[in-house]
Amino acid sequence: MGSNLATPVTPAVLPPASLLHSKKMANEQEQKQPAPPLSAWVPAVALGWLIPGGGHLLLRRTGRGLLLLVTITAMFLCGLMMRGTMFQPQSGDLLTTLINTGGFIGDLCSGILYLLASWLGYNQPDMAGAVHDYGTKFLVTAGLLNLLAIVDAYEIAAGRKE
Amino acid sequence: MPSMRLSHFEAAFLFALFTSVVLGIVTKRNDRDRFHYGVYTFACFLVALFGLGWLMYFGHG
């Protein structure tokens, strides 16, 4: 009886210590993943900003790149045709600064679409009306969706995603 | 430039469509999952659109 008590009791459901150790090592390796070199991801990110889906096209993800290009461009054009307003950064109270600066960054994320619209003189004043308001939201959302596409292109270029 | 006058439903439908396509593309890791996630997101948008519409209808009394 005494010898039985001295034996350590290990429940069958617990994983062996070596498995726990290897999982811990894998987590540490994942956390300490080195930053990818600039040359690997900067061209994809820059082209992805300038042309929606361009990063994916550069990385030879043609189908996804074209789908992103068509979708984001269509959304931006819908926003323009609904006569949405482009945000300009404004200072003032906190809410005004946040909305206008955030909206401006969102618009800017559309890349060449935003630049072309600005250079070609698109300057819609902020008017009352539901359709104009939808247009403004479409313009900002097109930029934000392009931002998601840029992050995806970065992850592919950095080897973190296929 | 041609102008576009959409109803709230049409604008929300287009918004849901474009957003679902991009979310499907950037979120998942293979084409099958991307397609399923895009359809799922689009369905969620439509459910929310109709749900909130009816909620506002009943809220007005």
Query: For A141, which residue in chain B has the nearest alpha carbon?
Result: B19
Angstrom distance (rounded) from CA B57 to CA B61: 7
Name the most confidently modeled range: A36-40, A119-123, B30-34.
Answer: B30-34
Cα–Cα distances (Å) from A74 to A89, A103, A119, A125, A137, in that order, read 25, 19, 19, 22, 14
**Is residue A20 assigned to a domain?**
no
| Tally of structural domains, chain A | 1
**Is residue A140 assigned to a domain?**
yes
Query: What is the model's pLDDT at position A17?
Result: 61
A145–B4 C-beta distance less than 8 A: no
**Tens digits of per-residue pLDDT, A130-140?**
888 999 999 99
**Is residue A33 assigned to a domain?**
no
Residues of A in contact with B21 (CB under 8 A): 67, 71
Query: What is the model's pLDDT at position A34?
Result: 76
**Is residue A135 assigned to a domain?**
yes
Q: How many helices (H) and strands (E) does chain A have?
A: 8, 0
**Closest-CA distance of chain A to residue B48, Å:** 17
**Is residue A90 assigned to a domain?**
yes
DSSP A87: P
Residue ranges per structural domain of chain B = 8-60
**Closest-CA distance of chain A to residue B61, Å:** 23
Domain span holding position A81: 38-157
**Tens digits of per-residue pLDDT, A32-69?**
677 788 888 899 999 999 999 999 999 999 999 999 99
Q: Is any Cβ of chain A less than 8 angstroms from the Cβ of B1?
A: yes
